[in-house]
Amino acid sequence: MDFDLPEETLALKQLCRDFAAKEIAPYAAEWSERCHFPADVFRHLGKLGLMGMLVPEDYGGADAGFVSYVAAMEELGAADQSVASAWNAHSTIATLPLATFGTHEQKDRWLRPLATGEAIGAFGLTEPTAGSDAAGIRTRARRADGGWLLDGTKMFISNAGTEMSLGVTVLAVTGENSGGSKRFGTFFVPEGTPGYAKGQPLRKLGWHSLDTRELVFTGCWLSDDHLIGEEGNGLRQFLEVLDGGRISVAALSLSLAQKALDLAVQHSGEREQFGRPLHRFQAVGHKLADMATEIAAARWLVYHAAWLGDQGRPFSTAAAMAKLYASEVANRAASESLQIHGGYGFVRESTISRFYADAKILEIGEGTSEVQRNVIARALSRGAG
């Protein structure tokens, strides 16, 4: 067993670390306070070949695989979770449906500018009445005038309202099967399509620099060439690419947990109480030890899931385990790190306060912790049966 990352992955990791230190970290706090989406950062990521890491080279991507993607996320997420979360949504659920199920023409028209960083992508699944229950969505697409009319509302959608947004991939109900079950289709809705409207940016607890909005479709007509994959298989297609999204959020969680630990180690070495540094107190030292141990365990869960994906082996359960554990470790690490910072951590000028606010959504997005446990439990049941 070889646990060392390949040389090219280590070089990529260093590239991302240098870029994040120069172009992201110094400005992240200001962007967060202003709720500013830094479009130029993503254009620069495109020039570095990082906006299409999971996209085939034929369509402008790097086809670097999940392990390299996780390594890159560790560095970007440690600099700023908002930038990394936008990159996550773009790189996985926004581009993988097109990369996996799109036609050559669709990939050339929409996937290529996403992969090269000319534009950023979004995916519309969640609705005001449907989140974890993906099959409960109400947005509908019906046949009309040689194409489709889309009607419905999507909620909490990232990357759809930026200056570089290309459009949004939307999951919609397209009809019913003979037994009464729903049929689903996946559609790409380009920016500026009549009948496609966006709400104002939502004010969130964290991820302040991530553009997040409600999307409304009212008589939004799309020609047949906007249907991605087979009509009727939209939900299955989404669930197939969701595993990659879970690995990505697991990596995002890993980056936050490691940053929280690094900040705690630094502060506990610099801050003195009762004549000695905080880390010399056993209570603080034990907190640091527990954080480091949990993060090490999370790291290997995440990289193992990524490795399985790169090997073409089943990785749904591993991705769910990685996402579940890493997101919960991130929340524990952020909380303990803030506790070690004390009053300094509670002021908004502190770096840990920003990461603490960003942590909670990691247990919610791309499937809540409860959903991940359901996925794992079902896999165990199938194995036992």
What is the distance between the alpha carbons of residues 38 and 23, in angstroms, rounded to a whole number? 10
Mark out the alpha helices in 24-60 (DSSP H runs): 28-34, 39-47
| Under 8 Å between Cβ of 144 and 222 | no
What is the distance between the alpha carbons of residues 303 and 309, in angstroms, rounded to a whole number? 10
3-class SS string, 238-285: HHHHHHHHHHHHHHHHHHHHHHHHHHHHHHHHHCEECCEEHHHCHHHH
CA-angle at 297, arms to 293 and 302, nearest 5°: 145
Tell me the three state secondary structure of residue 190: strand
What is the distance between the alpha carbons of residues 276 and 254, in angstroms, rounded to a whole number? 31
Identify the H or E element spanning 169.
strand 165-176
The burial class, CB within 10 Å (0-12 / 13-18 / 19+), for 182 is middle
> How far apart, in Å, are the Cα atoms of 296 and each of 219, 290, 291, 318, 340?
50, 10, 9, 16, 20
Q: Tell me, what amino acid is at 40?
A: D
Instruction: Reply yes or no on whether 214 is catalytic.
Output: no
What is the distance between the alpha carbons of residues 70 and 75, in angstroms, rounded to a whole number? 9
Q: Given the residues 127, 231, 328, 366, select the one marked as catalytic.
A: 366
CA-CA-CA-CA dihedral for 155, 248, 49, 352, to nearest 10: 90
Q: Is 146 left (phi over 0), alpha (psi -120 to 50) or beta?
A: left
What is the distance between the alpha carbons of residues 372 and 224, in angstroms, rounded to a whole number? 35
Q: How would you classify the pairing of strands 212-223 and 147-158?
A: antiparallel
What are the residue numbers of the active site? 366
